[in-house]
Amino acid sequence: MNKLLISSALFFLLLLLSCGDSAVSMMDPDGGHAFSAPADNPEHAEMCHDNMEDLSAAISMFYASTNSYPDNLIELETVAPGISSLTCPSCNLTYLYELKNSGDVWTVTCPLPDEPNHGHIVNGQSSWPPDPAVWPEVCHSNMTCLASCMAMFYGCYNRYPEELSELGTSGIYEFWDNPCPACGEVYQYTTNSIGDTYTIHCPMPTEPTHGYVIDGICYWPPDPSGGIEACRSNMSSLGSACAMFYGQENRYPIHLKELGISGVMGNWDLVCPSCGELYSYSSDPDGQTYLVQCPLPNDPGHGFIEDGIVSW
């Protein structure tokens, strides 16, 4: 949390330094706020949501030790030192806290005055849709839920439903129409005429989707964002091996497998963790330049290294 605090403070400082005159107008002397449309900055929204979740966790801890909710955020300092000074990264103000219904209902609200601001949490329940970073996770958990409801349905009726909506009409799962958080669409469902097999597919209109389920077995694609660091470290290894090869041969390899043949790099055939493909490699006929590139088909992939210079 401290790291987050420092990084948001730093970010704000950089913002002030980088925007010159506009930074002055941001610090309105009347205490008003010149910010508009905070939703335009998804990073800020995500950081602000994280802050509110930290506050929510601290309120639960406070409740666990005192059996009551705090009267104000300062009281949280006893369970989480420093927490009351968390600020929204868009306006740099501390969070608003309200305790109502004779101390039974609490609300933590983003201090941004403009609508829409970053939302609020009421008794641990957040008001905002999931942030992009957790979309795949949320989509997978939606599909896993549907799959276990399919099994329950099969247990009752000895067949899978004809339509997803039967999960709702049968009373097994009223949230059958929970959408994929990325595209907001209901899951695609298919079955055969006797209802002994089914597929549930993430409804995202473009590839890569979040995957699918066939008869209870989940097929999740590798997460492209999760693989980016591993992929770049693979490319760096290949780049260093190319440099070593140059040291021996006075030229770069023509094919990556020359790294293996020459004994410079035994595992020259490592793959991008996201797509499972070998790296694409090219060099000029004299072997004086080279290019190692992530093979991910979607643009941008994880980048490339050209003659030792990384693209990221």
Tell me which residues touch Zn ion (CB under 5 A): 48, 88, 110, 112, 118, 139, 180, 202, 210, 231, 272, 294, 296, 302
* Residue 288, CA atoms < 13 Å, CB-side half-sphere: 1
Q: How far from chain centre, in Å, is Cα 110?
A: 21
Task: Report in angstroms how near the CB of residue 209 gets to Zn ion at its nearest.
Answer: 6
By beta-carbon proximity to Zn ion, the closer residue of 139 and 264 is 139
By beta-carbon proximity to Zn ion, the closer residue of 51 and 246 is 51
Measured CA to CA, the distance from residue 208 to residue 202 in angstroms comes to 10
Counting every residue written for the chain, the total comes to: 312
Task: Report in angstroms how near the CB of residue 93 gets to Zn ion at its nearest.
Answer: 9
By beta-carbon proximity to Zn ion, the closer residue of 245 and 302 is 302
Task: Report in angstroms how near the CB of residue 194 gets to Zn ion at its nearest.
Answer: 28
Task: Report in angstroms how near the CB of residue 301 gets to Zn ion at its nearest.
Answer: 5
Angle (nearest 5°) at CA 277 between 237 and 131: 90
Sort 60 into a burial class: Cβ within 10 Å, 0-12 / 13-18 / 19+. middle
By beta-carbon proximity to Zn ion, the closer residue of 111 and 287 is 111
Per DSSP bridges, beta strands 217-219 and 280-283 are: unpaired
3-state secondary structure of 260: helix
Task: Report in angstroms how near the CB of residue 68 gets to Zn ion at its nearest.
Answer: 27
By beta-carbon proximity to Zn ion, the closer residue of 259 and 296 is 296
Residue 58: partners with Cβ closer than 8 Å, 6 or more residues away? 76, 79, 80, 83
Task: Report in angstroms how near the CB of residue 272 gets to Zn ion at its nearest.
Answer: 3
The interaxial angle of helices 42-66 and 2-19, nearest 10 deg, is 150
By beta-carbon proximity to Zn ion, the closer residue of 96 and 170 is 96
**Dihedral angle computed from the Cα positions of residues 274, 275, 276 and 279, in that order, rounded to the nearest 10 degrees:** -100
Q: How far from chain centre, in Å, is Cα 77?
A: 30
Task: Report in angstroms how near the CB of residue 224 gets to Zn ion at its nearest.
Answer: 8
Measured CA to CA, the distance from residue 83 to residue 183 in angstroms comes to 34
By beta-carbon proximity to Zn ion, the closer residue of 99 and 270 is 270
